Amino acid sequence: MALSSGKRPPRVLFCGAATRDTILLVPTLPSNPSGGKIIASDMRECAAGMATSAAVAAARCGAIAAICASVGTDAAGQAYLDDLKAEGVDTTAVRVVEGAPTAVASILVDPAGERLVIPYYSPRLTDIDREWPPREVVAEYDALLVDPRSPAAALELLAVAQLVGVVSVVDADTTPDLDILGRLVAAADHVLFSQPGLVSLLTPQDVERVSTAQSGFCMWALALQQIRGRCPRAIVIGVTLGADGVVWVETGIAGARHLRPPPTKVVDTLSAGDVLHGVYTLGMARGDSVAAAIAAGCAAAALKCRRFGGRTGSPTADELAHCLQGWAWEAETTTCGLCGVDVGCVFCDARTAT
């Protein structure tokens, strides 16, 4: 499949988590193990989940987005479908499983924007069969993003994407089944880890090597180099660092690269990473450079953090364009002789620019 030429909006397929979220703004996150009661001051309900939130972010920023996921025959499932249709996300590939409960999550967000997430996923929603996921539709898209929450479907679609030449991205967050995560990252063109996801795949030998880093950023750059053998197809391997942006390695570019997000007032960090992944995948579908797509993802995530309500705070295309116009972003690529990273380090305090 050829990338979008600009004559039509890029088409992106998302596969993975589908939840109905209840998001509560609380004065503080609970720390008392014996229980108690906290009164919320604000509340939102919305369709969410990693792939779902990414799909909404991409749709708001100009993609023709579709979601491949599973919900149950309950009120939460119907609300999920209604929400996505209102956002302009195609739900044709959403499977409704008779009698199964739709995945739900209760999320507490404090005034600093930090959160506590309590999700429930029914195992009945992760099975696949001949009819689902709809493998034949992959070729209609310019890019595919999957997450680990519906792993069998994700692996099926990644295999098809490889056959038909569709760009694939994995949102490599942590999962209880590390074998599944390893199989997902091995099958994708672009792998963007969360910090826990990356750490979970490091061997004890990797950890020992990474521990030689002289700074936190250097540590992540070195960790990416150690994990490269687990991602044989990937031309980009990165890790998202929240307020510190993204560190990545890219085929054809020596060393690691780093891009910080624009400064922002943080109200709610929930779904910021999902928004980044969605906008990054949109950039890949459009044929943008990796650095430009990461910059757009970082900017979109920063804008989202200004608003309470999880993925409901995702920016529009106009808001994102305005932010990017006013932000002179630059991806750093530097080498360092201090930390012992033989492929180049961007992060030690004493740096030498290449």
How confident is the model over 216-225, as pLDDT tens digits?
Answer: 678 888 899 8
Backbone angles phi, psi at 238, to 5 degrees: -140, 170
Span of 5-14, 129-138, 188-197 with lowest mean pLDDT: 5-14
| pLDDT level of residue 34 (50, 70, 90 thresholds) | low
What pLDDT score was predicted for residue 4?
55
Share of the chain above pLDDT 70, in %: 90
What does the pLDDT read at residue 25? 96
Distance separating alpha carbons of residues 272 and 142, to the nearest angstrom: 23
Least confidently predicted of 99-113, 153-167, 320-334: 320-334
Residue-level pLDDT at 334: 52
Report the percent of the chain where pLDDT is more than 90: 78
Residue 178 has pLDDT above 90, yes or no: yes
Question: Residue 338's pLDDT is what?
Answer: 44
**pLDDT for the residue 342:** 46
Residue 120 has pLDDT above 70, yes or no: yes
Tell me which amino acid residue 232 is: P
Out of 39-53, 139-153, 175-189, 330-344, pick the least confident.
330-344
Residue 37's pLDDT band, with cuts at 50, 70 and 90, is confident
Residue-level pLDDT at 348? 52
**For 236, phi and psi rounded to 5 degrees?**
-135, 130
- Checking if the pLDDT of 31 tops 90, the result is no
pLDDT digits (tens, 9 = 90+) for 277-310: 999 999 999 999 999 999 999 999 999 999 999 9
Tell me the C-alpha distance between 67 and 137, whole Å: 11
